[in-house]
Structure 1
Amino acid sequence: MIEASVDELGVAEIVVNNPPVNALPVKGWFDLAAALQSAGADPAVRAVVLRAEGRGFNAGVDIKELQAAKDFGALVGVSRGCAAAFAAVYDCPVPVVVAVQGFCLGGGIGICGNADIIVAADDATFGLPEVDRGALGAATHLARLVPQHKMRAMMYTSATATAAELQAFGSVLTVVPRAELRAAAFEVAHGIAAKDPAVIRAAKESLNGIDPWDPKRSYRYEQGYTYELNLTGVADRVRDEFGR
């Protein structure tokens, strides 16, 4: 599900591959967090490329796992797993370059919003369909990708934005044909890896330190409303209606 390697120039590649849509279960989110933490802890690693195989980058959490659960254990698990994975992207001591193709939804927005650099295929779309699933969360991260009012409109309507739109907002660095996506991400990462690693690690830490708000705390605040919707039965009703 999660594979990791490091090339001769010090770029770690972390690949998510969980067909059919790269929706991750509880264990998958924690495994992703562990892979990022391991890469960042390796002094030989100078940058990370995070990408996925398949039709799309990430479809969020595994809704089937949540629906099959007999209690709220899976909900708590996936909430903590997502928080851990998003935090691992943000806290990784070296820059994280994400390569996005196809759909990037829900948890995929959490990954991208906390990443340092986004390279996208020309077929990539970004969205938060959480309200259609009776959930909330990752508006924290969407607000790092699009302007405030665009974020609100996307959240309320489940509308998506294209890679070209995000490039115009400045959150996507470059848009390339899908066949060139991996190479484009590595070109950026290798450019970072060529710099002095001590300076780059200091730059990452300093940039996190001047963020106007803490995305980890902000995201956990959002998750409280997802718990509320589940405890009151609203989430089950919305998911059942959506699935009809």
Structure 2
Amino acid sequence: MRVRREGALVRATLSRPPVNALNSAAYRWLTETCTAMRPDECLLIDATGHVFSAGHDRGEPPDGESLATGVAALAAVLRCPAPVVVAAQGPAIGAGALLLAAADVPVIASGAWLKLPELDVGVTVGQAVLRRLLPPAMASRAFLTSERIPASRIDAAVVCPPEELAEVAAGAARSVLRKPPDLVSLARRTWGEREQAAAAYEAELTAFLTRARGQGRRAVTSPDS
């Protein structure tokens, strides 16, 4: 994982072979990178390898602490003071798909796809973020079915040939940087939808953890235990 500054363009590259899974360290890196941005900059998040991100690292169980760290990271992307471009060169799965959805300008290679297997691994959070990228009904369906959504069906993203991804993403970032930064900052604040998505995402986490705690108490007090 590395951050490179090219004037006002800040490139943050996720590099955790083989599939760029997101662990606690990667989530903290995302949080720290986003909170350090200035409104007159633009953050470009990309990744190495053939997979943009396979999502939450299976080496870390999706317990309350790790989920909270992940939610905090994606909320930090949504609340980043600077505009955010995310370039997905390959599959974006779980939290990887949500990272793409958290962008101001999502860019995806034409052969890539996203998938939300959250319910399959016992997690219910993320639909509030995903619906920034997909229509609400499709976002719900993607969660319920865990089906693959090909890039060609993601109308909110810039879809381009894989070999053009890096330049298209950088071009989008430069286009944003050519705008008056004070107007860009004001627009992003007054639209309010990024904060709404972050708050709804945090509410999903609260509901999930409340249910988990309730189940834990029932397990302890059950007469059959």
TM class, shorter-length: 0.7 to 0.9
Task: For structure 2, list consecutive stretches of 5 or more residues without a partner in the other structure.
Answer: 217-225
Counterpart for residue 5 of structure 2: 6
2:55 pairs with one of 38, 55, 60 = 60
Normalization by structure 2: what TM-score? 0.87
Counterpart for residue 196 of structure 1: 180
- C-alpha spacing 1:57/1:230, structure 2 compared with 1 (3 Å): farther
Counterpart for residue 239 of structure 1: none
Q: Which amino acid aligns with 1:215?
A: A
| Correspondence list, 1:1-244, <5 A | 2-8=1-7, 10-38=8-36, 40-41=37-38, 45-66=40-61, 75-167=63-155, 171-172=156-157, 174-207=158-191, 209=192, 211=193, 214-227=196-209, 228=211, 232=215
What number of residue pairs does the alignment pair up?
215
Contact 2:100 2:106 in 1 (8 A): yes
Provide the rounded CA distance (Å) in 1 between the counterparts of 2:213 and 2:47: 30
Which segment is superposed worse, 215-224 or 128-137?
A: 215-224
SS of residue paired to 2:50: coil
Q: How much has 1:53 moved relative to structure 2?
A: 0.8
Q: How much has 1:46 moved relative to structure 2?
A: 2.2
Provide the rounded CA distance (Å) in 1 between the counterparts of 2:212 and 2:87: 33
Which segment is superposed worse, 13-22 or 144-153?
A: 144-153
Provide the rounded CA distance (Å) in 2 between the counterparts of 1:51 and 1:180: 13
Deviation per residue, 1:147-185 (Å, 9 max, x gap): 222122211110021111002xxx11x211212111110
Task: For structure 1, list consecutive stretches of 5 or more residues without a partner in the other structure.
Answer: 67-73, 234-244
Q: How much has 1:59 moved relative to structure 2?
A: 1.4
Provide the rounded CA distance (Å) in 2 between the counterparts of 1:36 and 1:213: 14
Contact 2:78 2:194 in 1 (8 A): no
Q: How much has 1:64 moved relative to structure 2?
A: 1.8
Contact 1:134 1:229 in 2 (8 A): no
Q: How much has 1:6 moved relative to structure 2?
A: 1.3
